[in-house]
Every structure is written in structure tokens, then in C-alpha cells.
Amino acid sequence: MSIYVGSTADQQFGTNSYLVEDETTHDAVVIDANLEPQLMVELVRDRKANVRAILLTHTDVDHVAGLAALLETFGPIPVAVHDAERHVVVEGKPLRREFGASTFPVENVVSLVEGEAFQAGSLSFEVLHTPGHSPGGVTLKIGDNLFTGDALFAGSIGRSDFANSDGTALLEGITAKLLSQPDQLIVHSGHGPATSIGRERQTNPFLT
């Protein structure tokens, strides 16, 4: 399978949204819904992709704010999230007491479960639970691509100073679930540029 990965970033937080597309079938998913969803809508239209689902690495407001606009455009497709943060999407309540913004409640919510492949058309994602930045943080793996949300960045790791964060769990998850992956895997983070597992293993100052 040949996989296309495209991304858009909003200006306010530099939050990345990703389009992952099977170049043969044009089945696709959107990973995370940043504050400028129109950029993703335009990318999908340019690619003529068939978006089958929206997958959330976690539910901080900058990763879910664009959900309503995406669903309005793509129709009532499933929104997939880890059960630990399901209430944020279903009820439209904020994940953090530090960030009180509410979001649009979503009805068609399905679960991302570690150890269970998530299927969207011809695409199949492995789900790795990588909490710590948030309780339901996940990394999504397909082919040589890892979508790590706000767990692992190029040269950094996610914040763990929020009330519902856990710095120990974050480092444990990165070490056990991500650094155990092959060096050549590409890391697509929630913010900033892509990197690789090998590069982060060797140079990330938070992991040495």
C-alpha cells in the first residue's frame, strides 16, 4: 500500500492536522482537527480523497476545535478517540480546567483501543496508548508513520504540568511504546516538523 501523508497547521498554536490517504483507493482519514479546518478541507478536495473517519490523538481544544466544520463538510463520519477522553467529544466539554473552551458535541463517536486495529476503508491503524500529556493520548501507526500527537516532538516531549497530566506516565509511554519502534519510522507530531524515532532516540534531550 502506498500512503500519502499531508498536513496543515493553524497559525494560533501551530497545531498539525494530517491527511492520511491510500493512494490506490483514495480512502483517507483526518488526524486531529485544528483551529483552521478549512485548510484541511481544501487539501482533501485537492487530493479528491474520500475521508472515512476523523482520528484524535487527544482532545485538547487546539486538536478538536475544527471538528464541527470538518463534519459539516464530510458528513457524519465516525470520530475516533480513546475512551479516557470520550466524554470531551461526546459532551463538548473541555479536557482541561486550565482551558475552559467548550466544543461542539459529536454524536458518532467510536473508540480507539490499544491492541485493536482501527479500520477506515482500506486503511488500518495500530493504536498505541501513550498517555501522560493527557489521559487518553494515543499514537497511531500505519506503515512507517507514527502520529504521536503531543507525546513526542522533534527535540522535545509533551507538557505534563496540567492537572490531568502525568509526567512519569508520559516518559514511560514514550520509552516503552515509541522508542521500541524501528529507527526509520517517521514521527508526525501534534506541533512542529516531522522527525524519526532514530533521531529522537539519539538527540532528544528529554530522553537521554
The ranges assigned to domains in the chain are 3-203
Write down the CATH number for the domain with range 3-203: 3.60.15.10
Lowest mean pLDDT segment, chosen from 40-44, 104-108, 117-121, 133-137: 104-108
What's the chain's average pLDDT? Answer: 96
Cell readout for 152 is 513526542
Amino acid at 38: Q
Instruction: Report pLDDT for 98.
Output: 75
Pairing between β-strand 145-149 and β-strand 138-142 as defined by DSSP bridges: antiparallel
Share of the chain above pLDDT 70, in %: 99
Q: What are phi and psi of 109, to 5 degrees?
A: -105, 130
Instruction: Decide: 73 and 43 in contact? Cβ < 8 Å.
Output: no
- Residue 193, classed as helix, strand or coil, is coil
Residue pLDDT, tens place only, 68-113: 999 999 999 999 999 999 999 999 988 987 776 668 899 999 999 9
CA neighbor of 150 nearest in space, from 174, 184, 114: 174
pLDDT at 47 over 70: yes
Q: If we measure between CA atoms, which residue out of 198, 202, 189 comes closest to residue 154?
A: 189
The Cα-based distances of 167 to 59, 62, 133 in angstroms read 18, 21, 7
